[in-house]
Each structure stands twice: as C-alpha cells, then as structure tokens.
Amino acid sequence: MAEWLTVALPKGRLGEKVYARFAEAGYPCPEILSDTRQLIFENPELKVRYFWAKPSDVSIYVEQGAADIGVAGKDILMEYRPDVYELLDLKTGKCRMAVAAPEGAWLDPERTLRVATKFTRIAKDYYAGLGRDIEIIHLNGSIEIAPLLRLSDVIVDIVETGTTLRENHLEVIDTVAHLSARLIANKASYAFKRERIAALMTALEV
C-alpha cells in the first residue's frame, strides 16, 4: 500500500487554484473547501493529506520534511533559496518581479539608489548584476507607498495586473524575473516516495 503524501498549499487565491488542479489530477479532498477552522485535511482512501500555510512558510515545511510536497511561488524560491527540489512549473499564478518608480521620475545614476522591497535578496542580486550601488529599505507590505512618500526611489515588487502601480502613478522600469507557481519536494521524500511523487507529477502535467 502506498505511503501517505503530505502536501503544503499556499493560503489564498493561488492556493485555491492550485488545489483545484490537484483535485482534477485525481487527488481530491473535498473537506478542504468547507468553511472550518480545521487546518489539516485528509483523504484516507487516497492517502493524501493537505494543509494551508502562509506562502512564505510552504517552503519551510517542505525543506524540513513536515510536508513531502508543496506549491510555492518562484519569488519565494528565489528569495529564500530553500534546500528542496523544484519539480514542475504549474504555469499558474503567473506574474513578474519588477522594478517600478513614480511615472516620469529621473533617477540620478551618480547617487545610491534607495530600493524598497519585501524581496531583499532578489533586489540585491539584481542590482549587483548591474553593478549599481543601492540601499535596501526592507518593508513587509504595501511597498508602493514608499516612493510616493519619498522613502525610496524605486520598489522591487510583484506586478500581476499592473492595477496597483497604475492607481498610484507608478510605472515599471524593468522586469527582474517572470514568476509562477512551482511544485516543490522535500529531498528525502523524493527519494523514499519516488513513485507516488512521479505519479502526482504526471497527473499534474496533463
């Protein structure tokens, strides 16, 4: 009999889309959509167990082996570089990591650029590649406010529809990376539950 497979899903809109993909692929667990405070959901017939986690925590559960499999945005994988296998691009939750500034702003190339972001490592790597001196201002959300109130010159943040930027008179000046949801696996689980994981990957790919 197959082993149990524990799957960490990111809470929120992306997670619901991703769960639908798993259900269509033959791994349903209908309870997961019920209105409850329960955190872990099991389908004993299929021996699959799901739980919701904060998107940035999914890779921690998977890296530590508390979950065998998880779904995380490429942004999280680039920022935290968890020691996991990245198995599949699920091609959902597509967006990009971009640099944005107030519309028409002139950025003095001689001055240290002040960059507000939640994604410190991604921003540092990007500007290191350009050989540009920067000062990072680490924020935890609503990053778009920073350049409006002159806390920073630019932001490095996720852009999906572009609505947030437009409504705040900001514009994209460069794309840092294209992002989407990725299927990730714990390294030991991948070795010990290889067949189950391979079957799941095949089912998700079609």
CB 149, CB 115: distance < 8 Å: no
**Smallest distance from the beta carbon of 182 to ligand PRP, in angstroms?**
17
Q: Which is nearer to ligand PRP, 142 or 175 (CB)?
A: 142
Q: Which is nearer to ligand PRP, 69 or 123 (CB)?
A: 123
Q: Which residues bind ligand PRP (CB under 6 A)?
A: 141-144, 157-164
**Smallest distance from the beta carbon of 18 to ligand PRP, in angstroms?**
16
**Smallest distance from the beta carbon of 62 to ligand PRP, in angstroms?**
21
**Smallest distance from the beta carbon of 58 to ligand PRP, in angstroms?**
15
**Smallest distance from the beta carbon of 87 to ligand PRP, in angstroms?**
24
Q: Which is nearer to ligand PRP, 34 or 163 (CB)?
A: 163
CA distance 169 to 102: 6
Residue closest to ligand PRP, measured at CB:
141
Q: Which is nearer to ligand PRP, 142 or 202 (CB)?
A: 142
Q: Which is nearer to ligand PRP, 43 or 168 (CB)?
A: 168
